[in-house]
């Protein structure tokens, strides 16, 4: 009769292929590439969603005059890119006095692509809603805020602005659409990694008859995890965790346990 240890070993499923539902890393030093070499696992990258900018003709229907707003709120680089793209398309140059509120320092620094960076007009938080909303409160009475966003976005910032009677407008500058994954034909991967609920939506949009079978599902963020569960898929790995804040750390730990 086999020992308990032997039985446990037989239950383990070797992870030999992983599909990351994002674009490939831009750096050769990505931990994903190190994992491929260390564990002999094949890792493919394929974005399940795409960002499509709203065109000027469509935006004008909102009757929003950008220069009427003294403060712009940015929650992503996509929002920055599409705000200034659209401003250029409709022939608007933002005044030097415009203030910019960014949820992270990385987004604030990214603004240098479009504006002359000055600390007196660029404010940023640490990524938490509590931190950034404290910044908003300091400028509530003086500024008129514009929140450029995607058609699919978190409601925490708009809800805060609404609840506290800010003078603000929310406007869609870009849309999140499903990628065409038809060339994949089938998803014969041992693990698929999702980073957003829209990625889960795209999976079933492209493969309506998708069956999970033995495929392991990993997700980043509580909202993405909920989307997986709502789709009646079994969730194997949920990140972040206190001891594993990043997806690469969590996957490597899982590979150690299952290869």
Residue-range domains of the chain with CATH: 16-48+183-258 (3.40.50.10090), 51-177 (3.40.50.10090)
Q: Which residues pair with 99 in a beta bridge?
A: 71
HSE (CB half, 13 Å, CA atoms) of 33? 7
Q: Whole-angstrom Cα distance, residue 211 to residue 203?
A: 11
Q: Which two tokens stand for residue 193?
A: 């990694």
Please state, in angstroms and rounded to a whole number, the distance separating the CA atoms of residues 177 and 189.
23
CA–CA distance, 61 with 84 (Å, rounded to integer): 18
Nearest to 104, CA basis, from 79, 125, 74: 125
* DSSP H helical ranges for 21-169: 31-39, 56-60, 77-89, 105-110, 129-138, 156-163
CA-wise closest residue to 92 among 143, 148, 137, 46: 148
- Count each helix (H run) and each strand (E run) in the chain, helices first: 10, 11
**DSSP state, 39?**
H
The whole model's pTM is what?
Answer: 0.75
Task: Provide block-wise average pLDDT over 10 residues at a time, the chain (259 residues).
Answer: 40 79 91 94 96 95 95 95 97 94 94 86 86 88 95 90 95 95 87 96 95 95 95 96 92 88
Residue from 78, 128, 77, 121 nearest 101 by CA: 121
What are the pLDDT digits (tens) for 135-167? 899 999 999 999 999 998 888 999 999 999 999
């Amino acid at each position: 009769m086999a020992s308990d240890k032997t039985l446990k070993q037989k239950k383990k499923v070797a992870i030999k292929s992983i599909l990351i539902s994002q674009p490939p890393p831009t750096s050769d030093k990505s931990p994903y590439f190190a994992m491929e070499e260390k564990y002999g696992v094949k890792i493919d990258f394929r974005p399940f969603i795409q960002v499509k900018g709203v065109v000027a003709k469509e935006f004008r229907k909102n009757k929003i005059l950008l220069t009427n707003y003294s403060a712009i709120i940015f929650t992503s680089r996509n929002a920055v890119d599409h705000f200034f793209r659209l401003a250029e398309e409709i022939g608007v140059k933002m005044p030097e006095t415009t203030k910019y509120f960014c949820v992270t320092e990385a987004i604030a620094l990214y603004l240098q692509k479009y504006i002359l960076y000055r600390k007196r007009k660029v404010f940023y938080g640490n990524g938490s809603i509590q931190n950034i909303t404290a910044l908003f409160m300091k400028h509530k009475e003086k500024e008129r805020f514009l929140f450029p966003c995607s058609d699919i976005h978190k409601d925490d910032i708009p809800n805060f602005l609404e609840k506290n009677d800010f003078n603000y407008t929310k406007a869609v500058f870009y849309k999140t659409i499903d990628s065409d994954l038809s060339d994949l034909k089938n998803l014969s991967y041992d693990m698929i990694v999702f980073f957003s609920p829209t990625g889960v939506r795209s999976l079933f949009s492209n493969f309506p008859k998708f069956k999970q079978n033995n495929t392991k599902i990993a997700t980043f963020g509580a909202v993405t995890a909920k989307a997986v569960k709502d789709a009646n898929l079994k969730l194997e790995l949920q990140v972040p965790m206190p001891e594993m804040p990043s997806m690469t750390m969590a996957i490597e730990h899982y590979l150690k346990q299952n290869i």
